[in-house]
A = this chain, B = another copy of it.
Amino acid sequence: MIARSETPLIDMETLERIAPMIRTVAHPLRLRIIDYLAREGEPRSVTEIINAANAEQAIVSQQLRILKDQGVLSARREGNYVRYQIAEPSALALLECIRKRSGEK
Residues of A at the B interface (CB closer than 8 Å) are 4-5, 7, 9-10, 12, 14-16, 18-20, 22-23, 25-28, 31-32, 35-36, 39-42, 52, 89-90, 93-94, 96-102
Contact = CB atoms under 8 A, between A and B. Distances in A.
A38 to B, nearest CB: 9
Contacts of A102: 10, 14, 18
Contact of A31 (B15, B27, B94): B15
A19 B96 CA distance: 14
A5 B41 contact: yes
Contacts of A90: 97, 101
A73 to B, nearest CB: 16
Contacts of A18: 31, 98, 101-102
B9 A39 contact: yes
